[in-house]
Chains A and B, each alone.
Chain A
Amino acid sequence: KQEVTQIPAALSVPEGENLVLNCSFTDSAIYNLQWFRQDPGKGLTSLLLIQSSQREQTSGRLNASLDKSSGRSTLYIAASQPGDSATYLCAAAQTGANNLFFGTGTRLTVIP
């Protein structure tokens, strides 16, 4: 069974810093890897989806990378802002039907 781990569990950075969130998964036979953002009391918002054949995806200040062979993905956030404060979750899909296995998330606080 796929297991997804996220380190660190919580992270505080001053505004303007660049930061990296880490995600590891045990079964490298994934279909895609997705990153989500969750604000308190809300559902999840999709940030980036990396297909298994891709190495990275970018959206604005966000860049996600995927290394299937090592079972790792990273989410890079450039020039962090207080509005980036949220919990970030990664999830691995075992098939194209998107049966996702989630990590427990990294709670990010960006200090003004």
Chain B
Amino acid sequence: EAGVAQSPRYKIIEKRQSVAFWCNPISGHATLYWYQQILGQGPKLLIQFQNNGVVDDSQLPKDRFSAERLKGVDSTLKIQPAKLEDSAVYLCASSLYNSPLHFGNGTRLTVT
């Protein structure tokens, strides 16, 4: 079984620039999650999709972050404009209902 794929692995941008991350979940997993993990902290949920509908985006800074899940499969997370405090690892995960989450290796974002 192929795992959750994310790209890019690393990204360095200047503040006020924009950036996008891509995620391909495990085939058949209806639920897709984007988490933000700041160094030394546990992951924090940004947005959760069920198929292509949003289940929870209460912690997504909507003035600068956006996400979409096309056709209920791949997903992209965008930040525009980026701030210094957005430096973190962005993790994508997928799962079946009430089943363990499967995580990708993440994208490490550095904002300078």
The residues of A with any CB-CB pair to B shorter than 8 Å are: 4, 31-32, 34, 36, 41-46, 49, 51, 89, 91, 93, 96-105
Contact B42 A43, beta carbon cutoff 8 Å: no
Binary interface profile of B, 82-103, with partner A (CB < 8 Å = 1, else 0)?
0000000001010101111111
CB-contact partner of A100 in B50, B97, B101, under 8 A? B101
> What is the minimal beta-carbon distance from B88 to any residue of chain A, in angstroms?
13
**Nearest residue, chain B, Cβ from A91:** B42
- Can you name 7 A-B pairs with beta carbons within 8 Å? A36-B101, A43-B4, A44-B103, A46-B102, A97-B56, A98-B95, A102-B44
CB-contact partner of B103 in A32, A43, A101, A103, under 8 A? A43
Bound-complex Cα distance A32 to B95 (A): 14
Chain B residue total in the interface (Cβ 8 A): 27
With A44-B101, A97-B56, A102-B43 known, 8 other A-B pairs at CB within 8 A are A32-B98, A43-B106, A46-B102, A96-B97, A96-B98, A97-B31, A99-B55, A101-B45
State whether the Cβ of B25 lies closer than 8 Å to any Cβ in chain A. no
State whether the Cβ of B105 lies closer than 8 Å to any Cβ in chain A. yes
Contact B42 A105, beta carbon cutoff 8 Å: yes
Contact B103 A97, beta carbon cutoff 8 Å: no
State whether the Cβ of B24 lies closer than 8 Å to any Cβ in chain A. no
Which of A4, A42, A100, A104 counts the most B-chain CB atoms under 10 A from its CB? A100
Contact B42 A34, beta carbon cutoff 8 Å: no
**Nearest residue, chain B, Cβ from A34:** B100
Q: Known A97-B31, A97-B48, A98-B31; judge A44-B43 contact (CB<8 A).
A: yes
Which of A43, A49, A51, A97 counts the most B-chain CB atoms under 10 A from its CB? A43
Contact A104 B40, beta carbon cutoff 8 Å: yes
CB-contact partner of A43 in B44, B48, B91, under 8 A? B91
* Chain A residues with CB under 8 A of B31: 97-98
CB-contact partner of A97 in B50, B91, B93, B106, under 8 A? B50
Bound-complex Cα distance A92 to B99 (A): 13
